[in-house]
Structure 1
């Protein structure tokens, strides 16, 4: 039993709601804490005075055995599945190792909303028994642990759409979770997400998700808990959703791999049981978050092999070829996008872009590099912000009010263009027509610039300080045109404050937003934040994107 002494590190307070609301939240947090055995609780000497970078604590704290450290640190999902299938590790040992590491990670980053080690071990026992009895695995993910974002239904566990009033216990798995479970996945936790699932920072009633590399920074959002957990090696594969950057943003902030598929490539059925009005004009997508390129590919293979389109006719049945698929004729035409035309990324991102360009330039027989300038980013951002809230934000305001839940500052920010009145059907149609016209113009411009893929920033910086995730251009632009995008790590991290600045060629701000971003850079401390890049392809060219990533692998040092 737990002593109730579970302490979760927080660096900045979150707003309080009504006394009734706070009592409900406190009860939920107490129920969570009661599940955690005393032997998995970190010493107060750590949680009361944590280092800025907490990624080393799971190894140093003494809670994990040498085998558990080996399991959680030295394998990706592909290798771990092979190790379990060959009986090097039992599924039980793997489930226990990742469950223990996940609860350590939570105490340092607030990455979880639910944790169920006992259930995971029971599932793993059944898998071990099946393998021992039959000599066969149940599927390609036999024993592989999976972490799941809070809003995705998992039988017997709570989900919500980012507000306390919407929290319910689900009696069935969402389609995606059912596919993964049938393939042998072991679920052991659910991860934190922001209020309303519409921030690029994970700040919710459960607390604020911290970036493991620098807890003064955001872990991104909305799939924030997944990214922080993966960066702490408390997970090996997770599932995110993305309607404005919610996979790519946190993957970028936390230095992991993440893939947002083209809409209706992967199943999202039951992810939002009552729908989301934004999808009248901007479709949400889903995809994996993980630690290696081949794990992204594994996830795609497993899910697509299940033929999810037979259950959900909205899905487009495109066979998956991925990393091993046919390559574009050499040289691959790559657009290097150093600015969206509205904002210039902060120095660490510019440094990574320059490195990528230099690396690729060494192989002209493989890569044809050219500058890429996106078509009318400002127009796309103006349109997408209106499209997110066709109800004028009424649903959000009413749901918060019903529970006495406070509105967080980033919720206010994302609602600022929504007005207060719902759009009429004609106005929603006008947004649809404008979107489709923009997509045609964007495709024409892409073709004119003659690129196969584009390499660009994920965000305006490597990560951002808390409550400052304001500018989504580099991800939301590609949601608006529905292009697939993958985030990949680079070897770089942000330097200590004052050790780097904008290069001379980027010294002049190009917009009021850009001026603000530069102020945030000058005032902030981004030390150790991972630096990542985004690779984008045309709509429904997801296979081509992965084939390109395979071609880029050696030059960009991808795992």
Structure 2
């Protein structure tokens, strides 16, 4: 890559394309680099010799003042909003601190696609002047820095559909960005996503995003840039999308909180204006990612308080009560799904599930029982076919247009797709099968007599690069269209060879399960955090947060 680009930590080379493609890619990386001043660049020696765990470098590198370290590390968005409102911090100080930390995080993890610190500071200056002159904030997010996944249109900035030729300079904000801006948010960067926005590893023409806790591991996808940035405290609150796990997998891999609502809960107007073929049968969700449960609640509450359903009638206008939702009568009935009947999770995930079960059983507020999985293989098969109704034809054509190489995980996703486009009746059959499955699963859930389900968010901790093959534990819930929140646990993955599958673990259930065990034996996942997922019935998003309000003490949630 050109000497005029910004050096970032790299652990694997990206596949290269023809000269024209590489020249275009080099140009956009050079444009990014011109915005980064010398005083915010890490030393080449540090980039070349970075440790596997890079989470401590922002506070140690000397590029942030003590106050900037405090601002970025001590508070969540809710606390920062209060401090700005009370004039104990300025919007400029907060925007400056997070923008500086974000570009440091990028050099260590390749998490950004755009960085616009100057624009953010100008916005923050306006907010400070407004507060000073009126004594009021412009809204509940006054001065809060918010980062967004690359796919979200932000006025004056580039968004993409996960391909180099599908980049657009947006003239206007999409609906949710506009709402958050009106509520006082300060936008300062956009974050990396994978090719086609359809992997659970965020590798694209911008680069490969690394996991801050172990750079040999993935940050997840498709909202993996957000996951890494939030884990590095380069942002305090972010926006992602989720059609198969794209919020929840990065949240789990990076030790943060993430909320996938029921589809058409949060506003999504003007995102993917040309539409997405996958959504012929499976709808994506928009959701927040952050460092605390109450911040997920805050962003959701703010977005829905503007009544976005009045301009987008696709949205379901269910009033948001969130963490203030009255919980169901105690004890809450919690089902623990230890595995999905297809792949038994790797040892640290099982350890985290056992930790959660023991914590809940130690109180009188919860009734804990096993939850039996339901027809996961059927759901995954139907889901995979639904995601590619054109047989992958569109992906191949877009890549061919610029010579962009098809990345290994794109090849993996399309390997069982024969290239045939579905006919209208076949798409209708998919809809019928999906709706019948959801009805059958609803009856199964009822027969289990539980209110909520705690289960893995992934088959293991953050996976090694180019091995993000299995979405089982998240995409099932997209097929069922159930809301879910991923929360971090205290469990961390130990050094290689220090933990194995329990002696009473059944023999491999199938070739996929066997492969996951092989990946565990061969990989080095040291330091990777473990997140778990809690799920509610479709449209019971408020009840989910009401339960989390009760669960937060038992499960040590922030």
TM-score, length of structure 1 as denominator length: 0.99
Residue 517 (structure 2) aligns with? 518
CA distance in 2, matches of 1:212, 1:253: 10
Is residue 108 of structure 1 aligned with residue 108 of structure 2? yes
Secondary structure of the structure 2 residue equivalent to 1:526: coil
Cα drift, residue 414 of structure 1: 1.2
CA distance in 1, matches of 2:389, 2:6: 41
Is residue 480 of structure 1 aligned with residue 469 of structure 2? no
Q: Residues 385 and 417 of structure 1 are in contact (CA less than 8 Å); yes or no, is this contact kept in structure 2?
A: no
Cα drift, residue 508 of structure 1: 2.0
Alignment of 1:126-145 (within 5 A): 126-145=126-145
Alignment of 1:87-236 (within 5 A): 87-236=87-236
Residue 47 (structure 2) aligns with? 47
Q: Residues 390 and 418 of structure 1 are in contact (CA less than 8 Å); yes or no, is this contact kept in structure 2?
A: no
Cα drift, residue 45 of structure 1: 1.6
Residue 552 (structure 2) aligns with? 553
Which 4+ stretches in 1 moved above 2 angstroms? 3-6
Residue 257 (structure 1) aligns with? 257
Alignment of 1:354-433 (within 5 A): 354-363=354-363, 365-433=364-432
Cα drift, residue 505 of structure 1: 2.2
CA distance in 1, matches of 2:506, 2:25: 47
Residue 293 (structure 2) aligns with? 293
Cα drift, residue 416 of structure 1: 2.2
Cα drift, residue 195 of structure 1: 0.3
Note the alpha carbon deviations across 1:314-361, whole angstroms, 9 max, x for none. 000000011111111111011100000000000000000001011111
Residue 277 (structure 1) aligns with? 277
CA distance in 1, matches of 2:193, 2:126: 31
CA distance in 2, matches of 1:146, 1:395: 32
Note the alpha carbon deviations across 1:29-77, whole angstroms, 9 max, x for none. 0000010000000011210011010000000000000010010000000
Residue 532 (structure 1) aligns with? 531
Cα drift, residue 6 of structure 1: 2.3
Note the alpha carbon deviations across 1:471-509, whole angstroms, 9 max, x for none. 101000000010000000001110000111111222521
Cα drift, residue 436 of structure 1: 0.7
Is residue 77 of structure 1 aligned with residue 62 of structure 2? no
Cα drift, residue 5 of structure 1: 6.2
Residue 494 (structure 1) aligns with? 493
TM-score, length of structure 2 as denominator length: 0.99
Is residue 28 of structure 1 aligned with residue 32 of structure 2? no
Note the alpha carbon deviations across 1:289-318, whole angstroms, 9 max, x for none. 000011011011101101010110000000
Q: CA RMSD in A?
A: 0.8
Secondary structure of the structure 2 residue equivalent to 1:234: coil
Residue 59 (structure 1) aligns with? 59
Q: Residues 6 and 29 of structure 2 are in contact (CA less than 8 Å); yes or no, is this contact kept in structure 1?
A: no
Cα drift, residue 510 of structure 1: 1.2
Note the alpha carbon deviations across 1:368-425, whole angstroms, 9 max, x for none. 1110112100000000000001011111000000011100010111112322110111
CA distance in 2, matches of 1:485, 1:82: 28
CA distance in 2, matches of 1:413, 1:68: 42
Note the alpha carbon deviations across 1:505-533, whole angstroms, 9 max, x for none. 22521111000000000000000000110
Which segments of 5 or more consecutive residues in structure 1 lack a partner in the other structure? none
CA distance in 2, matches of 1:415, 1:426: 22
Residue 310 (structure 1) aligns with? 310
Note the alpha carbon deviations across 1:431-460, whole angstroms, 9 max, x for none. 111111111110000000011100000000
Q: Residues 257 and 292 of structure 1 are in contact (CA less than 8 Å); yes or no, is this contact kept in structure 2?
A: yes
Which is further off, 231-240 or 412-421? 412-421
CA distance in 2, matches of 1:524, 1:333: 36
CA distance in 2, matches of 1:496, 1:333: 35
CA distance in 1, matches of 2:448, 2:78: 37
CA distance in 1, matches of 2:278, 2:478: 12
CA distance in 2, matches of 1:23, 1:49: 28
CA distance in 1, matches of 2:372, 2:474: 15
Which is further off, 134-143 or 411-420? 411-420
Q: Residues 98 and 234 of structure 2 are in contact (CA less than 8 Å); yes or no, is this contact kept in structure 1?
A: yes
Residue 542 (structure 2) aligns with? 543
Q: Residues 84 and 91 of structure 2 are in contact (CA less than 8 Å); yes or no, is this contact kept in structure 1?
A: yes
Secondary structure of the structure 1 residue equivalent to 2:196: helix
CA distance in 1, matches of 2:418, 2:435: 23
CA distance in 2, matches of 1:541, 1:507: 34
Cα drift, residue 89 of structure 1: 1.1
Residue 8 (structure 1) aligns with? 8
Cα drift, residue 4 of structure 1: 4.0
Tell me the matched-pair count: 556
Q: Residues 109 and 228 of structure 2 are in contact (CA less than 8 Å); yes or no, is this contact kept in structure 1?
A: yes
CA distance in 1, matches of 2:414, 2:431: 19
Q: Residues 301 and 320 of structure 2 are in contact (CA less than 8 Å); yes or no, is this contact kept in structure 1?
A: yes
Q: Residues 241 and 286 of structure 2 are in contact (CA less than 8 Å); yes or no, is this contact kept in structure 1?
A: yes
